[in-house]
Each structure stands twice: as structure tokens, then as C-alpha cells.
Structure 1
């Protein structure tokens, strides 16, 4: 035994990767070693995908993103929620060309009118990324989106144009869903469970910008409001972009008048229209020198 091997601090069990390499190097191929039952459990994909293993998959989906975020020194995030359908200004004409009926034309023009929010999301991400705040060796207000197109793309794009990293939390869907090209590759994550994805949106969030969107945006926005309203999460700046849109689709004041929320619950978020106004709310909330 060498002096190194005699050290009390040395581990006495092989690491999982080493054990896996031993299994790969097996010399004899027999019916027993070729059976799926002989695979190491953590290398048996069919086993890991069994219904009974759902709790394990939950844990893996929580741990993988958490560990890689920690290794990337992500201290906090600026999360951007919003539609996957609003076109960027440079794609407005291509979207307009899809209007083949008067009904569709009306919808398309409504989406095109919201393309200004693509630019505001892009600018907000650029401002936050340019500030490049670091505390205790950890990067703060790293831009984080759902990793998809439209408003999500705008956020990742703004960060990239500022020369900064950004996060994309993508979700597996029945139809094709790929991360946008502006997400930092090593911070591009894919989720099976919506619940775990939404948890990671908020674990490091220190501010959330909510742009016009559909069911997914509503889901994310209202879960955030619920967590703060019920005291499960401490308040953070919630920036609600697009007063005309939100006041048309949700009557917040009516909810208060009906008594199903308190009047002061309508103060959980800030109405903003520009990236500069949104960032100013964050600066004031945290007393930032940026």
C-alpha cells in the first residue's frame, strides 16, 4: 500500500463513474451479463423511465439544474415571462403574410402591435446584463427566460448582445420546441415537468418581468403572485409590461371589489411600459448603484 493510499482522508469506495468503467470492461459476454437486469441501475434508462421512478426523476430534474447553476456562479436571476407568439420587429412582414382571412388578419395585426414588447424585453435584458453585478463571487440578475421564441428569445438576445450569459429553461412539448439561439449553451436546460421548471424560475429570481402572453404566462404570473400573497415567498419586484393588454384580459380591480383578493394585493406588481422604467423599479427596490 502506498503512502497516498494510507491517508485517512482518502475515500475507500470507488466513485460511480469508476464502477461504471469496470462494468464496461467486463471480459466475458454471457446471457447473464447481457440481460437488462444486469445493468447498473443508474445506467438503465428503461428502468429510470418506469412509472414507479417518477419521484427519482423529480429529484434528478431539481438537482441537475441546481448543481449546474451553482457551478456557473449564478447567484440571482432576472426572470422574463411572456408570449411565444409575438413577432420580433424584423419578422413582422413575414407574420403579416400568414393572414389569409379577415379573421386571421385581425389577430395577426394584434400580435404585430405587441412587437414593441419584444424590443422592451431585449432592452431590459441588455440593461441588466450590462450592469454585471457580482456579490460574494456570484453573478446577480442573470437573465433567465423559458428559452423559447418571441419574448423569451428577446430576453436571451439582449443579454448576448451585452456580452453576457443568459439562462434558458426549456420544456419538452408534443410539438417541436427548441431553445432559441441566444441562450448560453451551458445554461440551456430541458425539463419534462412543468412544476420543476417553474420552481427553478423562482428559486433564484430577484425580479420578474411579465410581458403580454397566454396560458403559460398567466400560469407563471399567477403562481408568483400566489406565492407572495400567501407569504410563501418574500416580495420581489414584479414588472407588468403592457397595461392596455393586461387591463383588457384581467380585471384586477374587479377581483378586489368582489372580495376574492385584498385591495393591497393589486400593489404586488408594478405597471411599466419601458425597459428603463422597469430597471428603475429594480434599482429602487434593492438600492442598487447601477
Structure 2
């Protein structure tokens, strides 16, 4: 985050942070109570400060993306377990989708470059599998891409294709989900597990309930999705309306997805 260099009559936080480090070492200056509140990690992590942490986690990526001029994104979601074709993995039978995600990201980014990387920027969860494929395709096209990582109990690191200064890390799943959708121009869902299903249905619910503007909602691999979700059964049970199924588009290739995005009338809600 760049330092605020606007002219104002007061000393700024950077100046006082440096001054606080230069004070004499005494029992008083070593006491936790003496620390500047915004430099006191123990204080910021207190239970009572959760609202502040939520706000900070919302603001930091928002401000960085605003500074980079990012206006719209294309979201790629899918399993972290799907490997690159030719590699072994738990979901190697789905490896074809790695290549389609990679291709889609490349096509999207080639177009994004025409806007100097301000529009249609690829955003993924920043991890392996389909997420890696998305960031990789953007990197191969010569553009930048966003990674929205999340701290998990087991070790996870960002994939090496995320643009470093657009690689974020989250504590709160809810705020991470907001950032997936706040600039979304299209949502592309590849085969995945619990995490993918969670993000898919939450996004779909926001669109269905008109809490979010309708955008292309594209599912890759009709056979996969119709096997794990009986969409028609939801209609027959009366838990969704028949027209709710029109919110979904099924595709098999990156080119089909691009055709849907290109043909979308974004002036209509």
C-alpha cells in the first residue's frame, strides 16, 4: 500500500510510527499499553476488534484494486485438486478442465490488455488446480490477474502465476466472497467440491434474489453438473422456479464461454 502523501497540517501515522520506535527503552515504553494502537497486533486481534478487522479486510483489496484501476473482473472458480493434464492427482480424470480454464483465462486476458488491464481481469482463489490454471493463462497472455487466497488450517501458498501485487490473503471467508463478486462481469464455474459448490450457490442465490446484477453464470461440463445436482428435481419440488434455470449456461469449451460473455447485454438487469 503506498504512503499517503497528501498535504495536511498534522503529522501522519508513518512519522509517529518511526518516532515511537526511537523512544528510550524503559519499563513504561516496553509495556503493551504504550504501543500505538494501530501498531499493536495483540490489541488488533482481540475479540472486540473483529468489526475493525472485517473493515480492514474489505478495505485493503478494494483500495489496491482501485489504485490499479481495475474496473471489472471475470471470475474463475473450480477445484484445487484438478491437475494439469499428464500430472497425477486426486481428480486427474477431470484434467481437461485445467486446460479449458487456462485457455479461457488467456482469451479473457488478451482482451483485457486492450483496456490496459483495467477491464475483464481474471480473478481466482489464488491456489492450485483450476485456480492455478486461471492465473497461468492470464500470465501466458502477458497480463495480470488477481488471487484471493484464504488462510486454512493446512498449508496453502499462492500459485506462482498470480500477479504478486494483486495477490491477497484473507482471514474471513465472507469478505473474500464479496471481493470475488464486487467487480464481476462474468462468473465461470469449473468442476469442484465443497468450496466450489459453496461459492457457486452463494453467487447464484445473490443473482436469483436480485441482490446482485445478473451476469453470465457459466458452468463448464454439463455432464458433471447434471450428475451432482439434479436441477430439474428442484423445479419439480417447487423449491425453485422453472425460469431460475435460465440463470445458468452450460458450456464445454472456453470459446463457448467467450461467446456468451461477448453476446451479453450488460445494459439490462
Take 1:53 and 1:269, find their aligned partners in 2: how far apart are those partners?
Answer: 40
Question: Structure 1 length as normaliser, TM-score?
Answer: 0.87
Q: 2:10 aligns with which of 8, 13, 29?
A: 13
Decide whether the 8 Å contact of 1:75 with 1:138 is kept in 2. no
Does 1:114 pair with 2:111? no
- Paired residue total: 261
SS in 2 for 1:90: coil
Counterpart in the other structure of 1:225: 204
Take 2:195 and 2:143, find their aligned partners in 1: how far apart are those partners?
Answer: 26
- Give CA deviations for 1:267-289 in whole Å, capped at 9, x if unaligned: 101110000000110000048xx
Unaligned ranges ≥5, structure 1: 1-8, 96-107
Give the C-alpha shift of residue 43 in structure 1: 0.2
Take 1:17 and 1:82, find their aligned partners in 2: how far apart are those partners?
Answer: 41
Does 1:139 pair with 2:135? no
- Give CA deviations for 1:1-37 in whole Å, capped at 9, x if unaligned: xxxxxxxx952211111111121222x2221111011
**Which segment drifts farther, 40-49 or 9-18?**
9-18
Take 2:177 and 2:199, find their aligned partners in 1: how far apart are those partners?
Answer: 7
Question: Structure 2 length as normaliser, TM-score?
Answer: 0.94
Take 2:8 and 2:129, find their aligned partners in 1: how far apart are those partners?
Answer: 50
Does 1:86 pair with 2:66? no
RMSD: 1.5
Segments of 4+ moved more than 4 angstroms: none
Q: 2:60 aligns with which of 57, 61, 64?
A: 64
- Give CA deviations for 1:41-99 in whole Å, capped at 9, x if unaligned: 000001111111111100010000100111111111000010011111031xx33xxxx
SS in 2 for 1:79: strand
Counterpart in the other structure of 1:100: none
Counterpart in the other structure of 2:194: 215
Take 1:284 and 1:184, find their aligned partners in 2: how far apart are those partners?
Answer: 29
Q: 1:49 aligns with which of 41, 45, 48?
A: 45
Give the C-alpha shift of residue 159 in structure 1: 0.3
Give the C-alpha shift of residue 131 in structure 1: 1.0
Does 1:184 pair with 2:180? no
Does 1:164 pair with 2:143? yes
Take 2:71 and 2:63, find their aligned partners in 1: how far apart are those partners?
Answer: 12
Take 1:130 and 1:25, find their aligned partners in 2: how far apart are those partners?
Answer: 50
Counterpart in the other structure of 1:284: 263
Does 1:124 pair with 2:121? no
Take 2:176 and 2:74, find their aligned partners in 1: how far apart are those partners?
Answer: 15
Greater C-alpha Rg:
1
Counterpart in the other structure of 1:102: none
Decide whether the 8 Å contact of 1:76 with 1:205 is kept in 2. yes
**In structure 2, do the counterparts of structure 1 residues 138 and 148 end up closer, same or farther at CA, with 3 Å as the change threshold?**
closer
Unaligned ranges ≥5, structure 2: 1-5
